[in-house]
Structure 1
Amino acid sequence: MTGLRQQHRRRIHEAISEAAISLFMERGFDEVPVAEVAAAARVSKPTLFKYFPTKEDLVLHRIADHQGEAAQVVRGRAPGESPLEALRRHFLEGLARHEPTTGLNDHPRVVAYYRLVFSTPGLAARVFQYMATDEAALADALAETTDRLTAELLAGQVLSAQRVLARRSWEALVAGRPIEEVEREAVSAAEHAFALLGA
């Protein structure tokens, strides 16, 4: 019974998010009231807020799902693999899968999603809050292998580098360049970035 309840909650969660993102993409984040999202998803406003505490969460839960990922990569790395090498490998694997968080995904809905996030000041600011939380978690994981200052500096540099790399790939795709060409450049840029970090 618990499994069925969880499935039901997941379906409602996804239905609300899909309705919200579709409306926001069509008319803009600030132009669509939460009541309209609730009506489109066929739920009450209180139900919507049970699933998504803020309007921003309707959009950004897809990014929040990846919170703590870098710290998990460091802690779950293979024996003998350095933290930086594990993070490099993980990012390159993400590029190979065209993981949306790497910026290398040309599906029209993914491209439009990131346009919505980057062009809405409230959403962009909230992304930086997520990054700060991620940075602290990564610093904690790295501090298990080195001194605290080095851990904090490296965490900030790694996540900033990944943000720059993702933004470059997304902008190249928005400009209409073929994904195969962008992917080659993205892999080369990632190798360059992690080589700099390693130095």
Structure 2
Amino acid sequence: MGLRERKKERTRESVSATAIRLFLDKGFDQVSITEIAQAAEVSRRTLFAYFPSKEDLVLHRFADHEGEAARIVRARPAGQPPLEALRAALLDALARRDPNTGLCDDPEVMAFLRMVFETESLAARLTRYTARGTDALTEALREAGLDPLDARLVAAQVIVVQRELAVMNQEFLADGATAEEHHPKAVRAAERAFDLLRDGLRRHG
């Protein structure tokens, strides 16, 4: 990355961090674009050049991870099934308390995720990011040898499972559990989810 690109990335991160700080302090719907631009010391035009909408100021953090599942499938060791690679990656992320798993009890992270899940416009826009993640994973699974229909259905289920597990983890932490206390239960839930993805619902039919 050249100097110009690094400067643009620093500006982008600074603007987003400023916006998120204001949103967490005052509420997403109570902060205007003008207020964000003034606090970040950029023009409205510059702000919109980086973030086409107010929601993108928040959700670009998810966009940076939208192709992660596809990258995991493509980078898996030879002979490892795609679902097992995704399972292993999730378990590793839980162990690291990755915020994207919901198993992170840092107060700012918890406030950020609560804002996303509880703000209607953010929750609605998040579906666009997850849809792109599904598209990317579908393509990676097709490259791995799955037929187009199976690849699409598996990708959609994986992305939904990851999202729901993260929401469940955050709900437990919001109820007062620490990440350390909840980690074993989060691992069991992840293992159960990927067992169901692997085996289907035959045992429940």
Following TM superposition, where does structure 1 have runs of at least 4 consecutive aligned residues deviating by more than 4 angstroms? none
Structure 1: distance between partners of 2:196 and 2:92: 19
Deviation at 1:7, TM superposition (A): 2.9
The residue identity in structure 1 corresponding to 2:66 is Q
Partner residue of 1:155? 155
Match in the other structure for 2:67: 68
Q: Deviations over 1:86-118 (max 9, x none)?
A: 110111111111111111111111000011101
Looking at structure 2, the residues matched to 185 and 42 of structure 1 have their Cα atoms a distance apart, in angstroms, of 44
Taking only the aligned residue pairs, the percentage that are identical comes to: 52
Pairwise CA distance, 1:139 = 1.2
Q: What CA distance in whole angstroms lies between the structure 1 residues aligned with 2:26 and 2:186?
A: 32
Question: TM-score, structure 1 length as denominator?
Answer: 0.95
What whole-Å deviation, never above 9, does each CA across 1:67-104 have from its counterpart, x for those lacking one? 11111111111111110111101111111111111111
Displacement, 1:8? 2.2
Displacement after TM superposition at 1:49 (Å): 1.0
- Report the counterpart of residue 114 of structure 2 in structure 1: 115
What 5-or-longer segments of structure 2 have no aligned partner? 200-205
Q: What is the distance in 1 between the residues matched to 2:69 and 2:94?
A: 15
- Give the drift of 1:10: 2.3
Letter in 1 for 2:179: I
What is the Cα-based RMSD across aligned positions, in Å?
Answer: 1.2
Q: 1-side partners of 2:152 and 2:44: how far apart?
A: 41
Please list every run of 5 or more consecutive structure 1 residues that lacks an aligned counterpart in the other structure.
Answer: none
What is the TM-score with the length of structure 2 in the denominator? Answer: 0.93
Q: Alpha-carbon deviations, 1:119-142, whole Å to 9, x = none? A: 111110111111111112111111
> 1:28 corresponds to which residue?
27
Letter in 2 for 1:26: D
Alignment map for 1:94-109 (pairs within 5 Å): 94-109=93-108
The alpha-carbon deviation at position 11 of structure 1 amounts to: 2.1
- Counterpart in the other structure of 1:177: 177
Structure 1 counterpart of 2:133: 134
SS in 2 for 1:143: helix
